[in-house]
Amino acid sequence: MPTMGALHEGHLSLVRKSLAETDVSIASIFVNPIQFNNPSDLKKYPNTIESDIKLLESIGCQMLFNPSSKEMYQSLPNLKMDFGNLDLILEGKFRPGHFSGVGIVVAKLFNIIQPDVAYFGQKDYQQFLVIRNLIQDLSIPIDLVCGEIIREPEGLAMSSRNKRLSPDERKTASVIFRSLTKAKQEIAGKSMTEIKKEAEILLQQSGLRLEYLELADRSDLKLIQQYNPANPSILLIAAYLGEVRLIDNMFV
């Protein structure tokens, strides 16, 4: 499974899934510069390589690929990838160029490692769909597996960015999970406009700023205004606590 390090229980659950389902598990740790649209986000991205290696060893991961930037990029790639609608909405809209950088680095890692199965987390659900798209559109002979979201006791989705939050802030940030849960409970009876307004207020009361909360089709993330229980859907959210941008999602 490709990671950017700063490993947490979310990553480890993917490694455990791979250990259970395959012969050899390979994790990669590479903080990919070309997927950061915000340079200060790249600069502040946590680097915990020593403890990452210990964690991977402790659960029995057989191999680690930890290349340098120079090994991955002799020069900056000329190629850009455009994933159509997936690039225009949600993370694609708020992080221009992000998925091109993700697509290129994942294609590179696939070509270097040549795995039979690749594990990605549901927490970055739009990224998961981008990779699914990449695999399908380029006929890459890899099975893609989606691992479930692992959460802190209070509900905050595990993320490397959580390392930039204090223990108190992590509790505060669990309001994101509570907003999602509330939205899911109310989605059959209320409009998305009402639901967004309520989430915005709930988040504000805890000092968070809502960037987006959307209901979308689970297969392609086309945005939906009116919930239909017949169609598999997903609620997706992004919010800021101070300077730290956090995302989460929930199937409905």
Comparing C-alpha atoms, which of 240, 183, 236, 235 is closest to residue 206?
A: 240
Catalytic residue among 8, 11, 196, 245: 11
The smaller minimum CB distance to its own copies, of residues 117 and 140, is found at: 140
Whole-number minimum distance, CB 57 to its own copies, in Å?
A: 27
- The residues, ordered by sequence, that sit 6+ positions from 117 with a Cβ below 8 Å of its Cβ are 18, 21, 22, 142, 143, 144, 145
Whole-number minimum distance, CB 114 to its own copies, in Å?
A: 8
Residue 62 is inside which H or E element, if any?
Answer: none
CA distance 175 to 159: 15
Whole-number minimum distance, CB 35 to its own copies, in Å?
A: 14
Comparing C-alpha atoms, which of 123, 121, 118 is closest to residue 135?
A: 118
The smaller minimum CB distance to its own copies, of residues 63 and 88, is found at: 88
The smaller minimum CB distance to its own copies, of residues 33 and 77, is found at: 77
CA distance 96 to 178: 28
CA distances from 234 to 133, 219, 220 (A): 18, 9, 10
List interacting residues with its own copies (CB under 8 A).
Answer: 72, 74, 77-86, 103-104, 107-108, 111-112, 133-134, 136-141
Residue 174 is inside which H or E element, if any?
Answer: none
Whole-number minimum distance, CB 133 to its own copies, in Å?
A: 5
The smaller minimum CB distance to its own copies, of residues 53 and 140, is found at: 140
Active site (annotated) includes residue 11: yes
Catalytic residue numbers read: 11
